[in-house]
Amino acid sequence: MGESKYSATEVEFSFGKTVQYPDDFFYVFAICFPAFTGMTAGVGLSGDLKDPKKSIPYGTLAATISGMIIYCFIVYKLYISASAEDLAEDQLIMSKIALWGPIIPIGLAAATISSALGSILVAPRTLQALAHDKIFPSRKVNFWLALGKKENNEPLNATIVTSIIALFFVAIGDVNIVAGIISMFFMVTYGAICLISFLEHFAADPAYRPSFKSRWYLSLMGAIMCVWLMFKMNPTFAILSIIIMFGIFIGLSKSRNDNKGLSLIFQGVIFQLSRKMHVFMQKSDKEGDIGHWRPSIICISNRTFERFAAFDLLRWISYKYGFGTYIHRIPGYLSKETHQQSREILNRLIKLSEYSKSNVYLDTLISPSYTSAIAQVIQLPGVSGKENNMILFEFAKSLPDNLEDIIDNFQLIKSTDFDICILGSSNRKFGVKRSIDIWITSQDYANANLMILMAYIILGHPEWKKGSIKIFMISKEDELPDQREKLLSLIDAGRLPISPLNIRFISQKENIDSKQIINEKSKDADLTIIGFRNELIKKKEVQIFSDYDDLGDILFVNTSKEKQIF
């Protein structure tokens, strides 16, 4: 076999016979595909149609189906009238098998001219329409391209730009390369249209009511097939086409503040997915299933911009394991003024959330009294799709002016079986976020699991990544061995990141108050977690949460049901 002097698809053997290897299917498809896109020329001339919304879809489908039928007949005619060798060697074989040979070159010339005329008519009008809509970032460019003749608004300037682009591709001199580039951009366009159609199905925007409807799976299949064909035809051109498309989109998004169409579609899709997930979560929720408990916590406060401690605690809890809703209460009755005030405060809250990168859902509530506000809040649906199961209050240790309001509404909240957390904030602002102290007593063992879980959840936030948990168990001398064994088995079964070295067992003497012990041992803690029982609220009220002057921030915890740690 001698050295090849032909292209990659043609090899001459030493005995004089030439063997031609067929080109790859997708290479040929990329060259031929522009011939199938002529029916879209009518779309560019939709301004001349009497009823575009009806004529465009039906005309495009009719042209596509008619063209496919004609192409199939041509393929069949070539199959029965010409051999494979003739088809490969003679590009004008059709003129030899036609009834009148000259009609073929005449038809090719007519098709070429009509295609060129279609592009000359469509492309400038498309460019002019884009300029009319002020798509381009420059006002001067938009004004210049949008100009047309006074008589009939023919896009003169847009035609000049289109002609320059056309001459550039003509100068390339290789029809196959130009056809491949054109195929790429056709595929990008068709794929984007199919993808938007698919997303609009799921966004379920009531304002989107097309007169010609398609099936969502057809749109999805069209988008996937377009991207797949692009990479099969030419991966390099496909990547470049997608990069150019996204580059144009990003550039237009930055230059146009009112360009919200695509973002609204994605918001609609997310809304529908969220709605379906909420319904699914509600249906799958099993009453009394506390084995897989996680906090779905709601906080209400009217001191948001004075004290950030409650918001910080909520965003730590909501970072990974829990769900949080923060409600800013506006005292008063609903009116036009208070409603406007609520919108302004909500915008401030959203900015605060963006700066802190929180996963907390934010809202405002207008209510004349603290009791009515709590009654409304505890009936709100949870952001997780399940009901809220915990409420968080906060007060300033230096000025507990709202602590009595919290205590007065304690029984109202307990009627809903909510877990209750009350945060006493200090000027330390959680210190350096290194240590969390948990205090457990033998009379308050029901709150122990919830306190440990809350500490573990808080440590899951990156701001507490260097933090550690210490557990202090206060008990009578004769009860210490049993309490030690119970607590160590609890920690071991839960596989929590608490070292046995960080567990302290303290014997309580009769003449020493537990608050005195806590003040002494946890004065350097960044957060101290203390449990409290329901029956003590009626007896001691505010006194339960006072006399912790040496401590920093304190989280008081009361559980409705004992939580399980697996």
pLDDT digits (tens, 9 = 90+) for 282-311: 666 654 454 567 888 999 988 888 888 999
Query: What's the confidence (pLDDT) of residue 476?
Result: 76
What 3-state class would DSSP assign to 85?
helix
On the question of pLDDT at 554 being above 90, the answer is yes
Within-domain flag for 420: no
CA distance 469 to 498: 6
Crossing angle (nearest 10°) for helices 175-203 and 156-172: 130
Please give the share of the chain, as a percent, with pLDDT higher than 90. Answer: 10
**Are residues 248 and 139 located together in one domain of the fold?**
yes
pLDDT at 131: 82
- CATH number reported for the structural domain that contains residue 503 in this entry: 3.40.50.620
- Tell me what the mean pLDDT of segment 404-412 comes to: 86
Q: How far apart are CA 493 and CA 485, in angstroms?
A: 12
How far apart are the C-alpha atoms of 551 and 472, rounded to whole Å? 15
Domain boundary among 375, 396, 417: 396
238 token code pair: 């496909």
* pLDDT higher than threshold 90 for residue 436: yes
What is the share, in percent, of the chain residues with pLDDT greater than 70?
78
Residue 313 reports pLDDT greater than 90: yes
Q: How far apart are the C-alpha atoms of 402 and 532, rounded to whole Å?
A: 18
pLDDT at residue 566 in the model: 55
Q: Are residues 131 and 174 in the same domain?
A: yes
Identify which of 200, 238, 239 has the alpha carbon closest to the alpha carbon of residue 219: 200
Q: Identify the CATH number of the domain in which residue 323 sits.
A: 3.40.50
Mean pLDDT within 505-522: 80
Residue 209 shares a structural domain with residue 339:
no
Separation CA 392–CA 327 (nearest Å): 10
* The residue type at 388: N
Contact 564, 537 (CB under 8 A): no
Q: Which two tokens stand for residue 146?
A: 């949008």
Mean pLDDT score, 50-54: 71
- The CA-atom distances, in angstroms, between 446 and each of 153, 175, 451, 458 are 81, 81, 10, 20
* Structure confidence at residue 421 (pLDDT): 92
Give pLDDT, residue 62: 81
> Over 50: is that where the pLDDT of 380 sits?
yes
Is 317 inside a domain boundary? Answer: yes
Looking at the domain assignment, is residue 412 inside a domain? no
What pLDDT, on the 0 to 100 scale, is given for residue 89? 78
Tell me the CA end-to-end span of the chain in Å, nearest whole number: 75
3-state SS, residue 328? strand
Question: In the structure, what pLDDT confidence band is assigned to residue 280 with cuts at 50, 70 and 90?
Answer: low
**How many domains are contained in the chain?**
3
- Residue 407 domain-assigned? no
User: How far is C-alpha 246 from the geometric centre of its chain's CA atoms?
Assistant: 18
Same domain, 24 and 98: yes
- Domain final residue, candidates 396, 414, 447: 396
DSSP letter string, 126-141: HHHHHHHTT-SS-HHH
Same domain, 17 and 109: yes
Could you tell me if residue 410 is inside a domain?
Answer: no
DSSP letters along 30-72, please?
Answer: HHHGGGG-GGGHHHHTGGG-SSHHHHHHHHHHHHHHHHHHHHH
* Residue 169 token pair: 């591709």
**Are residues 239 and 318 both part of a single domain?**
no
Q: Supply the pLDDT for residue 262.
A: 60
In a domain, 441, yes or no: yes
- Sequence-separated (6 or more) residues with CB below 8 Å from residue 199: 265, 266, 268, 269
Where is mean pLDDT largest: 114-118, 224-228, 243-247? 224-228
Pick from 361, 360, 366, 362: nearest CA to 340: 366
Nearest-angstrom CA–CA distance, 196 and 411: 52
**Predicted pLDDT at 15:** 41
Q: Tens digit of pLDDT for each residue in 155-186?
A: 888 888 888 888 887 787 777 777 777 778 78
Global pTM reads 0.61
What lies within 8 Å, CB to CB, of 232 at 6+ separation is 26
Distances in Å between the Cα of 58 and the Cα atoms of 42, 54, 114, 200, 213 are: 11, 6, 21, 20, 11
CA distance 527 to 317: 14
Confidence grade of residue 551 (pLDDT, cut at 50, 70, 90): very high
Measured in residues, the chain has a length of 566
CB 332 within 8 A of CB 368: yes
So what's the pLDDT on residue 340?
Answer: 92
Task: State the pLDDT at residue 17.
Answer: 46
**Do 141 and 32 fall within a single domain?**
yes
- Do 124 and 247 lie in a common domain? yes
Number of Cα atoms under 13 Å in the Cβ half of residue 211 = 8
On the 0-12 / 13-18 / 19+ scale of CB atoms within 10 A, 535 is exposed
109 lies in some domain: yes
Q: What is the pLDDT of residue 45?
A: 57
Same domain, 354 and 454: no
Q: What is the pLDDT of residue 13?
A: 42
Look up residue 425 and give its DSSP letter.
E
Does the structure show a pLDDT above 70 at 389?
yes
CA angle 345, 347, 352 (to 5 degrees): 95
Say whether both 388 and 431 belong to one domain: no
Is there a domain that residue 72 lies in? yes
Q: How confident is the model at residue 259 (pLDDT cuts 50, 70, 90)?
A: low
- Burial class of residue 182 (count of CB atoms within 10 Å of its CB; 0-12, 13-18, 19+): middle
The mean predicted confidence, pLDDT, of the chain is 78
Q: How far is CA 479 from the centre of its chain?
A: 53
Report the alpha-carbon distance of residue 382 to residue 384 in Å, rounded: 5
Average pLDDT on 13-19 reads: 45
Higher pLDDT, 537 or 525: 525
> What torsion, rounded to 10 degrees, do the Cα atoms 21, 86, 71, 188 define?
30
**SS3 at position 264:** helix
Q: pLDDT tens digits for 320-346? A: 888 888 999 999 898 999 999 999 999
pLDDT at position 510: 63
Three-class SS of residue 505? Answer: strand
Q: Which of 227, 255, 283 is the last residue of a domain?
A: 255
For residue 467, what are the domain limits?
Answer: 426-566
* 431 plus 527 within the same structural domain: yes
Q: Are residues 60 and 196 in the same domain?
A: yes
Residues 219-240 have pLDDT tens digits of: 888 888 888 888 888 888 888 8
